[in-house]
Each structure stands twice: as structure tokens, then as C-alpha cells.
Chain A
């Protein structure tokens, strides 16, 4: 595996950025109305702008958040099995969304409540996991798992006492979808995710050092505790932004870091930005598939995009494992 150089950084991330733009362009021209920039005229432009663009952007924001936070949590917990949802913030976000939904709040309010709930969950999880000012990976992991279990038990409880149409809405929300039509809220999430991504990139070198072990990292000059806190808070807020916007889209945050480690090596300086780009690419692709399938096979509802990511992601991942590259 080649080692890090600025040239390699720009080559890999430039290539992924180019791919993202390409995928976005193709996807923007596909959709149930069959309209495209090629010969669709003013009406096509209008549809793309109001219906497809917010949704594509939501896919980019959510995918970028999932890819990069997956990578960062794996580094933080020194555990390649970690994913963006493992530390419990997602459970809090989902619970908030469900509560806001059954309270009959409008859709933008549901997203806001969900995000706030994610933020509060993050604080609670930190408060539970921190011991004498230290954030230990295994305590954090355990706290996250317990918090998720509790949140989903509450969601399932609510789900079981509600009439079935509402419980279908909850299911849809949990599986993750990008049915977003308002630019403002996508913009807000984009802001959180973009700033978060920059912070994670700044900490990416320290993520390399953290993977050597706490003592090695400390003896190489890393302030282990403040680094852990920074990664935990930053990535948690990004996960909150992603889940409140698009629900619990599964698997992207697990397989993107893995595939990239296989392809370009474990150096987080390249991995963090690259995983955000590949996350965005995968989610745009998956959502394009959803929109095309939704048009042809179904009429009442669309397939949740989370179903597609797991349905295609899992076999692909198994294929890689069996080929012995993982």
C-alpha cells in the first residue's frame, strides 16, 4: 500500500469528487416523470430544481455524514465493526422523530425535534460514559448499545399502541428515506455536516495515532482525551443531522469505510474525506435506483432507500470478504 502524500490525497479525493458530480448529473436527469435537461425545456428544469435537487442534496449530505462518521467511530472505538449508529445518538434522533410525528407536528418540525433529541442524547450518552474525565472506548460502546436498545424499545412500544397507518409511517421513518422537498432544511443539515467533516479532517491524523493505542498515541504527543471528545461530539452531531434528515439509512456507514480501507489503505488523512465522498456517491446511486424502481413497480409508496443500501451493500460486502481481500 502506498503511503500518504498530498498528491495521493488530491488524486483519490479528486477522482471521487468527479464521480460524485457525474452520478449527480445522471441522477438529476432520471425520474418518474421521465423529464431531463435534454429537451425537457423549462418544465424539466423546474421539476429538477424543486423535486429532484433537494432530494439529491439530502442524499449527498446524509451519505457524506454516514461515510465519514462510520470511519471516525471505527477509529475512535478502535473497532472496525463500529458504524455511525453504534453510539446511540441515532436511537435518540429516531425517538425524537417518532414522538414529534405522533404529536402531529409538521414535517420540518419533526426534523428539528429529531435533531434536538439527537443532540440531547449525545449529552446524556457522554454523561453516562465519561468516568473521571475519561472517555473509554468500551464504556462508550456499551453505553451506546444500551441507549439504542432503550430508544428502540420505546419506539416499538409507541408503535404497538398506535393504529396501523401511523405505525407504517414509523416503519418508513426507521428504514430511512430521502423524501425531502424543502431546500432550507437540507441546507441546515448540509451546514452541520460540512463543518463537522472539516473538523474530522483536521483530526484525521490523530485518528491514525489513536489506532496505535492510547499509550502510544499519548507518548507521541496526542492529547488522547480531548481528541476522543472532539471526535465523539463532532461525529455525533453529524449523525444527528443525517438521521433527522433521512432516517436510519443502514449499512452505508459500515461498508464505505471497509471498502475504502481495502482500496486505498488505512490512512485516515485520505480515508475521512474519501469516505464522505463515497458515502455520498453510494446514497445518490441507491436513491436513483429507488426512484426508478418506485416508478416501475409500485404506485402507492416508494421503497425506503435504507432497504436498497442494505440489500445491495450486504452481498457486495460478502463478495469482497469471500475473495479474501477484507
Chain B
């Protein structure tokens, strides 16, 4: 589905992403983890085609990403960026409907199909009751769910998310992750930058651990989330145990 081949990227000389090669299969759920500045967001933006790699190639469904038009790429990949304020008071419904942009013509007149898709996306994120509300007035959790609905409405088989649970309380954290997992169970490929290690372990099928713009480990939660790996990547002592509930690893911070 997504293949990276020696991808590099630098904003000003120094590589933020250096020499990343990996493959994300159809239907995976990958959590990208790593310290601040490890290149998580940059990697997502590269895959979303928002940034172009300074070296290396990215293939989407076997086709070089640079050969896609913006619109065609938008039909393949949806991107939910980190919080960005919207200067005008668009309603949640209008925002979700904008997710249909890659399928709508030049003048942007939505058809029946677009309205159905937007409605369905709001239903499956449980946000239909927020339809008329202004996006800027929603709580952080509601807002995130609406933005995920926008990505779903686009019908893209891949959804990329940049820290979808940042600033959310546990109730909304779990709601957001449940929605993503349900989508994934329905066949949508999901790649999300995550900070919460325990949350990533609970929901992601694979974890990509980055350090200094390079792949440090890429594998199952059991393989990646170990004391040695976390200690080396985050340069911090943490406790990593194995949960009695599901046998997965979990981490607990240790006070110095």
C-alpha cells in the first residue's frame, strides 16, 4: 500500500527524516512513536504529499507519489493534521462535506452521493448530532471526531493522523481510538503519530519507533515496546511491564 524507499527530507540543510525505507501493508494500523523532533510529523506529511522528499521515493499502491496529481492523491490518502484554528464559523457539517473535495468538480457543488457519504461519516464517528454546531465551538474531542469524519467522508483507503489524541481526556482518547480501530477493521489503512505509548500498544497493529529521523524499530508492540528500546530512544528510564489483562507491554514513568 505505502512503500518508502530511502526517503530523506530536510527543511534547512539538516535532515529531519534521513534514509527511511519501510512498507505499510493494506489494512495495517501503524502507530508512529518517538521523541519530539524525531520526524513523526514530517514523515506523515511526506506520505500525504504535502512535503516532497529531497531524496528517495514514496510509492502509493505501487505508483510513485510524485506522479499523482493533488486530487488523485487526495482520493488515496486522507490527512488529519494537528489542531489548526479555522478563521470562519463553518459548521461541523460543512467541514465534513469539504472532505468530499477530491470527488467534487471545479465549482464545488455537492451531489446526493457526497451528502450521503458525509452523513455516513458523521454517523460512524457519532457526531451527527453536532451537525449544525460551529466547528470552533466544539470541545477538543468532538472537534477531533468531526475531523476524522471529514477524512472518512473522502472515502480514501488510507487515513494519516498527526497525534489524534493530543489534549484529549481519556474518554475522548478512547472514543477516537475506537473509531479508528473500527475503521481499520473495515479495511482502512491507518497511520498515526502517537505520544501515548500505552494507547498505541492497545490499538495499533504495528509500531514504528523513530529516532533522529531514522527507523529505530518497526514491528509488533511486543517487539518494539521494551525497556531497552524506550530507554535508548527517549533517553529516559521508564518501567516497562507486561499487562496481566492482555499480555501486552505497558509503560509507567519513573520519578528521578
Contact = CB atoms under 8 A, between A and B. Distances in A.
Interface of A: 1, 3-4, 6, 74-75, 78-80, 202, 204-206, 208-209, 211-213, 215-216, 218-223, 261, 265-267, 269
17 contacts: A3-B91, A3-B93, A204-B108, A205-B104, A205-B107, A205-B108, A206-B108, A208-B108, A211-B88, A215-B48, A218-B48, A218-B50, A219-B78, A219-B81, A220-B154, A221-B101, A269-B108
Nearest to B100: A220
Interface in B54-94: 70-75, 77-79, 81, 84, 86-91, 93-94
Interface in B178-201: none
B84 A213 contact: yes
A80 B71 contact: no
Contacts of B91: 1, 3, 265
B109 interface: yes
B5 interface: no
B101 A209 contact: yes
B95 A212 contact: yes
B88 A80 contact: yes
A216 B79 contact: yes
Contacts of B94: 3-4, 208, 266-267
B102 interface: yes
Contact of B87 (A80, A216, A218, A265): A80
A3 B108 contact: no
A261 B88 contact: yes
B175 interface: no
B110 interface: yes
Contact of B81 (A74, A216, A223, A265): A216
Interface string B101-131: 1101011111000000000000000000000
B45 interface: yes
Contacts of B108: 204-206, 208, 269
Contact of A219 (B72, B74, B86): B74
Nearest to B90: A266
Given A202-B106, A208-B98, A219 B88 contact: no
B209 to A, nearest CB: 24
B157 interface: no
Contacts of B90: 208, 211, 266-267
B97 interface: yes
A221 B45 contact: no
A215 B45 contact: yes
Contact of A215 (B84, B93, B107): B84
A80 B84 CA distance: 16
A1 B131 CA distance: 10
B102 A220 contact: yes
Among B77, B88, B89, the one with the most A-chain Cβ atoms within 10 Å of its Cβ is B88
A221 B95 contact: no
A67 to B, nearest CB: 16
A267 B108 CA distance: 11
Nearest to B45: A215
Interface in B30-56: 45, 48-50
Contact of B132 (A1, A6, A80, A206): A1
Contacts of A261: 88-89
Contacts of A3: 91, 93-94, 97
A218 to B, nearest CB: 5
A211 B91 CA distance: 13
Contacts of B154: 220
A223 B108 CA distance: 15
A4 B94 CA distance: 8
A213 B75 CA distance: 18
A211 B98 CA distance: 11
Q: Give the 5 A-B CB pairs with smallest separation, nearest first.
A: A205-B108, A221-B74, A219-B79, A266-B88, A221-B71
A6 B98 contact: no
Contacts of B81: 213, 215-216, 219
B99 interface: yes
A26 B233 CA distance: 75
Given A211-B90, A221-B101, 5 more contacts: A6-B109, A218-B50, A220-B74, A220-B154, A221-B75
Among B95, B98, B106, B154, the one with the most A-chain Cβ atoms within 10 Å of its Cβ is B98
A203 B101 CA distance: 13
A170 to B, nearest CB: 36
Contacts of A223: 70
A261 B98 CA distance: 18
